[in-house]
Chains A and B, each alone.
Chain A
Amino acid sequence: MMDQGIIVKVSGPLVVADKMKNARMYDVVRVSEQRLVGEIIEIHGDLASIQVYEETGGIGPGEPVYLTGQPLSVELGPGLIESIYDGIQRPLDVIQKKVGDFLLRGVDAPGLSREKKWPFKPLKKPGDKVMSGDIIGEVPETELVMHRIMIPPGVQGEIVSIEEGEFTVEEPVCQVKDAEGNTRDISMMQRWPVRIPRPYVKKLAPLEPLITGQRVVDTFFPVAKGGTACVPGPFGSGKTVIQHQLAKWSDADIIIYVGCGERGNEMTDVLMEFPELLDPRSGKPLMKRTVLIANTSNMPVAAREASVYTGITLGEYFRDMGFKVALMADSTSRWAEAMREISGRLEEMPGEEGYPAYLGTRIAEFYERSGRVICAGSDGREGSLTTIGAVSPPGGDLSDPVVQATLRVVKVFWSLEDKLAYQRHFPAISWLNSYSLYTENLDDYFRNEVHEDFAALRQKAIRLLQQEAELSEIVKLVGIDALSPSDRLILETSRSLREDFLHQNAFHEIDTYCSLEKCYRLLKLILTLHDKSEQLLHEGIPFKEIQAMKVRETIARARYVDEHELDKMDEIHREIEEESQKFIDEGE
């Protein structure tokens, strides 16, 4: 007989069951005859508290609870890419085919298709010694992703047999004999409990930037591959758009996008757009490297809690193959709120704002799962997992416990300001309050790969913007006429930095993506003009005339120059030269 308990209490997503002697923490159970998926989150004697991943309306005491003896896990193998899953890895496309357009309860569908056959090509041969993490073969999963089949954690020995051919994810492709002489079948699918980090050999310091194509991010506040970043901001400040932009244009091999407790249409947007958009590097559709997890706000709150773990476990799995993975979670606040809701139902002692006392620990553990690592396996390959979390504090107030707990662990802070958003200055990332703790580590990369003076230009630009902030205070008190011409020039250049460089329209076909090279050239243009203008001021040319230089308008439109025609920027440099020279000639 299957191990089973009996429901004694139902309160929202929380169900308590009695006679649960064999219950283990975080094991999955099936609730009632409808077999709703749940997870054990507290045990008192024979009583187990269960968070249920589906709506519990119509469930009541006396109904059964079935133990599965398994922790909440995900299925890992070919077929993940291009999927859209709910918070506990049920494929939403399959579910739609099964039960229609609305999500009904108790519908089961495995994370990976059991029917689909994948072409497996061995990279090892019988007799080879293998350990967990070793790549034994590969499967072309999409045009962009060569899925590597690895020996699962905890297995090692000698390959007895390995076969090329078309297999489903359950069929064995290889047999491994361990030291005791036991053979084990290896298939293309592994399972892994979502709440436990996957093993790796060693963590490394992140040294390369994740290039996102977003100017303010890449030049001012870059995130490293394997690093962590957060984007807090009030509603409408641009968290989701920036996450989408990163998912589209980042130079990662794999994108995991977790829509955690946010809007349904935002997931639809990704679903409709990504198959059409082409990756600027490979020219292939972006969807071919993307996995989506969609547990929208109106879907069960407990599954929302699980969704970020499901996402990061998938991320770790691709990292283990040696890929550069980037994960976006929008929004981690909704995850924290799900935690709070369950904690409240458990009548745990609340901490700040009603969040459970372990909020900070959970957030830290989550971000700690990212990193640049030497992967498990004997070849010492490197992989990385970059994590970028949106945070949605009430009223945009940064003293919110979720923001504060996040800032304690992440290394990049993109601070979104509603004031900028109201002016339609996008991305509304504050250039004064944001920071990246990676810049120093990454500057070597920028110097070597982009240009010697990349870091110097950045510093100069940031300095000018800080001066602008100070000068604006003065202007507010005494008016602009009180400023010296060189101060007015600072204001003019800063305006150009803001409007012609930092501002970037995600919906403009060219402006949406900006290469590092183009970032550098744009910045260089603006600052060259600044230097030139300073010189002209020294020569005694009136500020008004310098301000009216025609080339300013050309620079303002330089961001719309196509990536393939960056040479046009050299012409603008010539224009600066010529126009300034004219002043000097006229002066003489």
Chain B
Amino acid sequence: MLKEYQTIREISGPLVLVEEVEGAKYEELVQVQLPSMETRTGRVLEVDHDKALIQLFEGTTGVDIHKSKVRFLGRGIQLGVSPDILGRVFDGLGRPIDDGPEILPDKKLDINGSPINPYARDYPEEFIQTGISAIDGLNTLVRGQKLPIFSASGLPHNRLAAQIARQAKVLGEGEKFAVVFAAMGITFEEANYFVEEFRKTGAIDRAILFLNLASDPALERVATPRMALTAAEYLAFDLEMHVLIILTDMTNYCEALREISAARKEIPGRRGYPGYLYTDLSTIYERAGKIKGKKGSITQIPVLTMPEDDKTHPIPDLTGYITEGQIILSRVLHKKNISPPIDVLPSLSRLKDKGIGVGKTREDHADTFNQLFAAYARGKEAQELAVILGEAALTELDKLYFDFADTFERRYVSQGEYEDRSIEETLDLGWELLKVFPEAELKRIRPEWLEKYLPRFKKDREEEEAA
């Protein structure tokens, strides 16, 4: 029998202090029974002698000092898993909220997981075709990567995430594939958009959803991504599936963490976020990847909104320090009707270098993307200069770059929400745009590729002009 304590001494914000406790453990799962008989879930944040500090996920509303009872469950927070979790919808704490039956778990897993031994990791290098040129061509995603979308309020990050989920495929393979979706503090409408998307494409049967919506208890969000990742690890490493996991919106997660930290009166770090935010986020983001000798993989697409569009805000900043790149959306491009409004210069895929080239995408990929980046960067500079001095002040060459930057945004970056470009199409499009430059400008491309590819596109151009 678990012992019950009726010794709550303090309640403050989401925290409850219980005294005269015996044998409480750090991180232990706790249940509090309110006078109304309702139960709340919590976890131990600190034990000091016979005092246990508890954080309640669903808040402390209605908890009282005299009648509420506290039980320590002798284990951490767990998620019960079995193959039946596929196709199901859970709340932010892993309780089913669809009309389906109870899950009969094969096993129960601690949601904190354990770090993957770096020695056991397998380096992610299988190209995932998302069908989106700005990603495939320039910020290539590979299987097992964690690649977040840095967005801002009002930008179409959800549509981009859904497009990725819809179109992502590894070429030439029909392997077991699943989507795990974790919503943290997003609106019903946003969550429903994903559900409908998954339904339309039939992905819903291979999906697991964990939903903590804006109207749900805020602190529950601290557990939601860990629930989802635990499910993802089970699918990937027990059931050998390739899992794509979308976590949205990480900003809401961080805010919940800040709330707990503030309630504990911890010394705040930058902008009030706790000093351990980096470590905490890493225990989420690092739960992606591949393991040697195992078939499955976890590819992570976290989504976050940058407060005040500021990339140096601690949430995007610390995320970028952990994830393997970032896809940054830009308000300026969005206003120009470039969709998806991916700002390619500050975007990055750190794993692209080993995921592209012969046998993966195409031999000319690395050289052409270097060239596209360099040309676009120079074009943007020329555009800035033109704003100050007028286009007339540009040299002939700079004018070429100026025009290139525009065409590049309109034709390469921008594409339809349902347009699924093959990698060949994307790479060809790159050449198509680069061919306007004199060869001497294409320094980043090996002469062999210039010889092999350029004439084809130049010829097209001559024909176009003739016609």
A residues apposed to B, CB below 8 Å: 8-12, 16, 55-62, 84, 92-93, 95-96, 100-104, 234-236, 259, 261, 263-265, 267-269, 271-272, 294, 296-299, 301, 334, 337, 340-341, 344, 350, 353-354, 392, 394-397, 418, 422-424, 475-481, 499-500, 505, 507, 552-553, 556-557, 560
Contact call A265/B351, Cβ cutoff below 8 A: yes
Q: What are 23 sample pairs from A and B whose C-beta atoms fall under 8 A apart?
A: A56-B26, A58-B27, A59-B25, A61-B24, A102-B120, A103-B117, A236-B346, A263-B286, A267-B121, A268-B118, A268-B122, A297-B279, A297-B322, A298-B283, A298-B286, A341-B275, A350-B267, A395-B311, A418-B346, A424-B370, A475-B385, A552-B440, A553-B443
Contact call B312/A268, Cβ cutoff below 8 A: no
CA distance A118 to B267 in the complex (A): 52
In the assembled complex, which residues on chain A have CB atoms less than 8 Å from the CB atom of B321? 235, 392
Contact call A93/B119, Cβ cutoff below 8 A: yes
Contact call B275/A263, Cβ cutoff below 8 A: no
Say yes or no: A297-B278 contact (C-beta < 8 A), given A59-B26, A96-B119: yes
In the assembled complex, which residues on chain A have CB atoms less than 8 Å from the CB atom of B117? 92, 95-96, 100-103
Contact call B275/A101, Cβ cutoff below 8 A: no
Contact call A58/B28, Cβ cutoff below 8 A: yes
Contact call B370/A8, Cβ cutoff below 8 A: no
Contact call A557/B353, Cβ cutoff below 8 A: no
A-B contact sample (15 more), CB < 8 A, given A12-B26, A103-B116, A263-B324: A56-B26, A56-B27, A58-B25, A60-B24, A96-B119, A100-B120, A102-B115, A234-B312, A259-B118, A263-B286, A298-B279, A344-B275, A394-B312, A395-B312, A418-B346
Contact call B27/A264, Cβ cutoff below 8 A: no
Say yes or no: A394-B48 contact (C-beta < 8 A), given A92-B118, A102-B113, A267-B118: no
CA distance A308 to B124 in the complex (A): 27
Contact call A556/B443, Cβ cutoff below 8 A: yes
Q: How far is the CB of A484 from chain B (nearest CB, A)?
A: 15
CA distance A299 to B118 in the complex (A): 10
Contact call A480/B118, Cβ cutoff below 8 A: no
Contact of A299 among B112, B115, B311, B388 (CB under 8 A): B115
Contact call B346/A296, Cβ cutoff below 8 A: no
In the assembled complex, which residues on chain A have CB atoms less than 8 Å from the CB atom of B286? 263-264, 296-298
In the assembled complex, which residues on chain B have CB atoms less than 8 Å from the CB atom of A298? 115, 279, 282-283, 286-287
A-B contact count (CB 8 A): 212
In the assembled complex, which residues on chain A have CB atoms less than 8 Å from the CB atom of B24? 60-61
In the assembled complex, which residues on chain A have CB atoms less than 8 Å from the CB atom of B237? 101
Mask of B268-290 contacts with A, CB within 8 angstroms, 1/0: 11100001101100110011010
In the assembled complex, which residues on chain B have CB atoms less than 8 Å from the CB atom of A480? 393-395
In the complex, chain B residues 32-81 whose Cβ is within 8 Å of any chain A Cβ: 45-50, 75-76
In the assembled complex, which residues on chain B have CB atoms less than 8 Å from the CB atom of A265? 121, 123-124, 144, 289, 324, 351
In the assembled complex, which residues on chain B have CB atoms less than 8 Å from the CB atom of A556? 440, 443
Say yes or no: A9-B320 contact (C-beta < 8 A), given A57-B76, A265-B123, A423-B345: no
Contact call B114/A102, Cβ cutoff below 8 A: yes
Contact call B270/A394, Cβ cutoff below 8 A: yes
Contact call A101/B294, Cβ cutoff below 8 A: yes
CA distance A395 to B306 in the complex (A): 13
Is there a chain A Cβ closer than 8 Å to B389's Cβ?
yes
Contact of A236 among B119, B278, B325 (CB under 8 A): B325
Q: How far is the CB of A567 from chain B (nearest CB, A)?
A: 20
Is there a chain A Cβ closer than 8 Å to B437's Cβ?
no
In the assembled complex, which residues on chain A have CB atoms less than 8 Å from the CB atom of B278? 261, 297, 334, 337
Q: How far is the CB of B241 from chain A (nearest CB, A)?
A: 16
Please name the residue on chain A nearest to B292 by beta carbon: A101
Contact call B346/A422, Cβ cutoff below 8 A: yes
Contact call A58/B76, Cβ cutoff below 8 A: yes
CA distance A256 to B249 in the complex (A): 39
Contact call A11/B388, Cβ cutoff below 8 A: no
Say yes or no: A92-B115 contact (C-beta < 8 A), given A298-B282, A344-B275, A394-B312: no
Q: How far is the CB of A81 from chain B (nearest CB, A)?
A: 16
Please name the residue on chain B nearest to A99 by beta carbon: B117
Q: How far is the CB of B118 from chain A (nearest CB, A)?
A: 4
In the assembled complex, which residues on chain A have CB atoms less than 8 Å from the CB atom of B121? 264-265, 267-268
Q: How far is the CB of B319 from chain A (nearest CB, A)?
A: 9
CA distance A296 to B115 in the complex (A): 9
Among A96, A259, A261, A422, max chain B CB count under 10 A is at A422
Contact call A11/B46, Cβ cutoff below 8 A: yes
In the assembled complex, which residues on chain B have CB atoms less than 8 Å from the CB atom of A299? 115
Is there a chain A Cβ closer than 8 Å to B373's Cβ?
yes
CA distance A144 to B344 in the complex (A): 43
CA distance A397 to B26 in the complex (A): 36
Is there a chain A Cβ closer than 8 Å to B266's Cβ?
yes
In the complex, chain B residues 111-165 whose Cβ is within 8 Å of any chain A Cβ: 112-124, 144
In the assembled complex, which residues on chain A have CB atoms less than 8 Å from the CB atom of B351? 265
Contact call A354/B269, Cβ cutoff below 8 A: yes
Among B275, B312, B351, B366, max chain A CB count under 10 A is at B275
Is there a chain A Cβ closer than 8 Å to B10's Cβ?
no
Say yes or no: A103-B115 contact (C-beta < 8 A), given A60-B26, A298-B286, A553-B440: yes
Please name the residue on chain A nearest to B447 by beta carbon: A557
Among B268, B287, B377, max chain A CB count under 10 A is at B377
CA distance A499 to B378 in the complex (A): 12
CA distance A259 to B121 in the complex (A): 15
Contact call A101/B322, Cβ cutoff below 8 A: no
Among B49, B116, B370, B385, max chain A CB count under 10 A is at B116
Contact call A507/B373, Cβ cutoff below 8 A: no
CA distance A350 to B268 in the complex (A): 11
Contact call B114/A344, Cβ cutoff below 8 A: no
CA distance A211 to B118 in the complex (A): 29
Contact call A353/B269, Cβ cutoff below 8 A: yes
CA distance A337 to B267 in the complex (A): 13
CA distance A10 to B23 in the complex (A): 12
Is there a chain A Cβ closer than 8 Å to B374's Cβ?
yes
Please name the residue on chain A nearest to B443 by beta carbon: A556
Q: How far is the CB of B390 from chain A (nearest CB, A)?
A: 8
Contact call B388/A476, Cβ cutoff below 8 A: yes
Contact call A92/B119, Cβ cutoff below 8 A: yes
Contact call B377/A423, Cβ cutoff below 8 A: yes
Please name the residue on chain B nearest to A392 by beta carbon: B321
Among A61, A96, A271, A475, max chain B CB count under 10 A is at A61
Is there a chain A Cβ closer than 8 Å to B341's Cβ?
no
Contact of B289 among A9, A264, A479 (CB under 8 A): A264
Contact of B443 among A334, A507, A557 (CB under 8 A): A557
In the assembled complex, which residues on chain B have CB atoms less than 8 Å from the CB atom of A334? 278
The 5 nearest A-B residue pairs measured at CB: A395-B312, A297-B282, A57-B27, A479-B393, A60-B25
Contact call A84/B118, Cβ cutoff below 8 A: yes
Contact call A301/B366, Cβ cutoff below 8 A: no
In the assembled complex, which residues on chain B have CB atoms less than 8 Å from the CB atom of A505? 370
CA distance A103 to B119 in the complex (A): 10
CA distance A294 to B118 in the complex (A): 7
